[in-house]
Amino acid sequence: KQEVTQIPAALSVPEGENLVLNCSFTDSAIYNLQWFRQDPGKGLTSLLLIQSSQREQTSGRLNASLDKSSGRSTLYIAASQPGDSATYLCAVGDLYNFNKFYFGSGTKLNVKP
């Protein structure tokens, strides 16, 4: 079974800092990888989705990379803002069951003003 790990579990940074969140997975046979944001008491909001054939995706201040062979993905957040404070989860799509995602436990980010 696919195992997805996110390190660190929590991260606190001052406003304006660039930061990287890490996601690793045990089985490189993936269809895609999706990064989500979860605010307290709310559902998940999709940030970026990377297909297995892609190396990276960008949206505004966010850049997600994927190295399938090494089982790693990173989410880069540039010029962090207090509004970026949330829990960030990565989810790996099963190659043989496209709609099945395995989630990491998340990184809780706090951006201090």
Partner 1 sequence: DAGVIQSPRHEVTEMGQEVTLRCKPISGHDYLFWYRQTMMRGLELLIYFNNNVPIDDSGMPEDRFSAKMPNASFSTLKIQPSEPRDSAVYFCASSLGTGNSYEQYFGPGTRLTVT
**Contacts with partner 1, residue ranges (CB under 8 A):** 31-32, 34, 36, 41-46, 49, 51, 89, 91, 93, 97-101, 103-106
For the CA atoms of 94, 67, 10, 3, the dihedral, rounded to the nearest 10 degrees, stands at 30
To partner 1, the closest distance from the beta carbon of 62 in angstroms equals 15
Would the CA dihedral through 40, 24, 16, 112 be positive or negative? positive
19 versus 44: smaller Cβ distance to partner 1 = 44
Read off the tokens for 33: 């990888």
To partner 1, the closest distance from the beta carbon of 27 in angstroms equals 16
Specify the 3-state DSSP secondary structure of 84: helix
To partner 1, the closest distance from the beta carbon of 36 in angstroms equals 8
